[in-house]
Copies of this chain bind each other. A is one copy, B any other.
Amino acid sequence: MDEFELVDRYFRPLGSVAAGIVLGIGDDCAILDAPSDEQLVVTTDTHVESVHFPAGADAREIAYRSCVTSLSDVAAMGASARWASLAMTLPRAADSWLEAFARGVAEALQQCGAVLIGGDTTAGPLVITWHIIGTVAAGAALRRGGAQVGDLVYVSGTLGDAAGALELGLIDGGSYNKFQQELRARYWSPQPPFELARKLCGVATSCIDISDGLIADLAHIAESSDCGAEVEFSKIPIAPALLQLAGLERARRLAATGGDDYELCFTIPPSCESALLGLAGDAGLSVTQIGRMTSGAGVRVIADSGATVDLGQVGYRHFE
Of the candidates B39, B45, B134, B318, the one whose C-beta lies within 8 Å of that of A3 is B318
- How large, as a class, is the contact surface on chain A? 35 or more
| Contact of A191 with B by CB under 8 A | no
Q: Does A29 lie within 8 Å of B42, measured CB to CB?
A: yes
Find chain B residues with CB under 8 A from A228 CB: none
Tell me the residues in window 24-79 of chain A with beta carbons closer than 8 Å to chain B beta carbons: 26-34, 36-46, 48-52, 73-74, 76-77, 79
Q: Does B29 lie within 8 Å of A123, measured CB to CB?
A: no
| Contact of A249 with B by CB under 8 A | no
| Contact of A83 with B by CB under 8 A | yes
Find chain B residues with CB under 8 A from A117 CB: 42
Q: Does A124 lie within 8 Å of B51, measured CB to CB?
A: yes
Report the separation of the CA atoms of residues A143 and B24 in the bound assembly, to the nearest whole angstrom.
Answer: 12
Report the separation of the CA atoms of residues A77 and B23 in the bound assembly, to the nearest whole angstrom.
Answer: 12
Q: Does B319 lie within 8 Å of A29, measured CB to CB?
A: no
| Contact of A86 with B by CB under 8 A | yes
User: Whole-angstrom distance from the CB of A5 to the nearest CB of chain B?
Assistant: 9
Contact with B along A2-27 (1 / 0, CB 8 A): 11101000000000000000110011
| Contact of A120 with B by CB under 8 A | yes
The winner among A23, A49, A51, A117 for most chain B CB atoms within 10 A is A23
Known: A317-B4, A319-B92. A42 touches B123 (CB 8 A): no
| Contact of A89 with B by CB under 8 A | yes
Q: How many copies does the complex hold?
A: 2
| Contact of A129 with B by CB under 8 A | yes
Q: Does A133 lie within 8 Å of B31, measured CB to CB?
A: no
Q: Does B141 lie within 8 Å of A79, measured CB to CB?
A: no
User: Whole-angstrom distance from the CB of A20 to the nearest CB of chain B?
Assistant: 9
Q: Does B129 lie within 8 Å of A28, measured CB to CB?
A: no
Known: A28-B77, A29-B77, A318-B123. A44 touches B2 (CB 8 A): no
Q: Does B1 lie within 8 Å of A44, measured CB to CB?
A: no
Find chain B residues with CB under 8 A from A129 CB: 44, 46, 87, 120, 129, 131
Of the candidates B6, B40, B320, the one whose C-beta lies within 8 Å of that of A34 is B40
Residue of B nearest to A47 (CB): B122
Q: Does A28 lie within 8 Å of B3, measured CB to CB?
A: no
Tell me the residues in window 164-188 of chain A with beta carbons closer than 8 Å to chain B beta carbons: none
Residues of chain A at the chain B interface (Cβ within 8 Å): 1-4, 6, 22-23, 26-34, 36-46, 48-52, 73-74, 76-77, 79, 83, 85-87, 89, 92-93, 117-125, 127, 129, 131, 133-134, 136, 138, 141, 143-145, 208-209, 224, 317-320
A-B contact pairs, 9 of them (CB 8 A): A2-B317, A31-B40, A44-B120, A44-B129, A48-B125, A120-B129, A123-B318, A123-B319, A133-B133
